[in-house]
Every structure is written in C-alpha cells, then in structure tokens.
Structure 1
Amino acid sequence: MANAHDNDNKSDEILVFIVIGTAYEEPETEGVSIHVILRAADDDSAVREALEALAEEGFLEADLDQIGTLMGEPEEEPHASAYRGALAGEVSIIRFA
C-alpha cells in the first residue's frame, strides 16, 4: 500500500531557488554574471521561469551553471530583498558587472 512518503520527488511546498549563470544580451559578446531568485515548485520549473524572466529582460541566451534552494533569508543585499520579493511571487535578476 502506498503512502504519502513513497515519492519524495515532488513536494507541495513552494521553495525559493537561486539560479546562477551567465546571460548574454548580444550575440558573440561577453556575458554578464547573474543570479535569479524566484519561488517555484521544483527545479525544472525554476529553470524554466528563470529563462523566461531573462528573455523578458532582453537577454538572448543564458548559460545556467548552478541551481539551489535558499533555506532562509540571506543577510546581505541585494539577495535579501530578492528573497523577500520571491516570497511575494516576484522573479529577481541580480546582475554583476
């Protein structure tokens, strides 16, 4: 008999993800390092939503290197504000020059 814990791959909990990579605004140019912080049900959804947000901001392509979950509000800005925004349903893109 199956119970609620038989499949731990999916969770009803909404998680706050950080997606780290490099995004490109122009072809064949040096990219900009980015962190995308957002709320999603799973890592596949987080990647898809991060790519959609980057496209809406004018990025043509992105190389996503890492994804992880934030286990609490970061202490440092701009990540702390982005985390609070994610809890409210926003997607934040942090650019590093």
Structure 2
Amino acid sequence: MTRNPNEDFPMPIMPDNDNSPEEPLVFVIIGRAYENDRDEGGVEIHVMLRAPDDDTAVREALNALAEEGFFQADLDQIGTLTDIPDEEPHASAYQGALEGEVSIIRFG
C-alpha cells in the first residue's frame, strides 16, 4: 500500500495494467467428437460459447459435449470471434453464445 501524503491512513493503489477484457469473449473451438469407444472417425464439430478465458472455454465445451452424449473429443483449434459470422449455422450459434448458450455444430 502507498500512503496518501494528504491523509493519515493508507490508500490502496489499483494496478493500471489489467489486460482482461471487460466482457467475456466468444470462442470457437474446432475438433472431432466421438459418441462411443468404437466410433473410429467421429464427427467434426464447432463449439461456440462465451467465456472469460480459453481454459474456461475448453472446460465448458467438454462439459457440453459430455451432456450431449459424446464419449470423447479431440479439440484441435481454439480462437475468438469479434464479429457475427455471415452464414448459418454459425450466425445463430454466435447469437446463442452471446446469450450464454454453448452451441455445438455438427458436420457429417
């Protein structure tokens, strides 16, 4: 704590280097999910959700995939979206993520 020279009590100083975003980010996670241990090829998936950081995004994506009945998932890429996608189903999934949903898009 730093002392304020004009007062007789300590004044807390807050760091001015906070790099955390004010709003949670919208993440897209790309990978393959498997419905059972005999599912060799799996299904390609994109998961879209809001989270404060990538670790939380991965954890919430895996939980959502498990709730949907997936046995295992290989998550290959993670990134953030700054604007609404142009095409469906990603545009709807992005809107769902903004509203707090975890959207799972399946291909194949």
TM-score past 0.5 threshold = yes
| Equivalences for residues 47-86 of structure 1 within 5 A | 47-86=58-97
Match of 1:14 among 11, 24, 43: 24
Shift of 1:21: 0.3
For residues 97 and 64 of structure 2, the distance between their equivalents in structure 1, rounded to whole angstroms, comes to: 13
Sequence identity percentage: 65
| Greater relative contact order (Cα < 8 A, sep 6+) | 1
Q: Name the counterpart of 2:7.
A: none
- Runs of 4+ displaced beyond 4 Å: none
Q: Name the counterpart of 1:95.
A: 106
Q: Which amino acid aligns with 1:12?
A: E
Q: Which amino acid aligns with 2:53?
A: D
Q: Which runs of 5+ in 1 are unaligned?
A: none
Q: Which amino acid aligns with 1:26?
A: N
Shift of 1:12: 3.4
Q: Which amino acid aligns with 2:106?
A: R
**Contact kept in structure 2, 1:12 and 1:41, CA below 8 Å:** no
Q: Does 1:4 align with 2:13?
A: no
Q: Which runs of 5+ in 2 are unaligned?
A: 1-12
More displaced 10-residue stretch of structure 1: 20-29 or 47-56: 20-29
Q: Name the counterpart of 2:45.
A: 34
For residues 92 and 14 of structure 2, the distance between their equivalents in structure 1, rounded to whole angstroms, comes to: 41
For residues 28 and 12 of structure 1, the distance between their equivalents in structure 2, rounded to whole angstroms, comes to: 43
When the two structures are superposed, what TM-score results if normalisation uses the length of structure 1? 0.91
**Which one has a bigger Cα radius of gyration?**
2
Shift of 1:13: 2.3
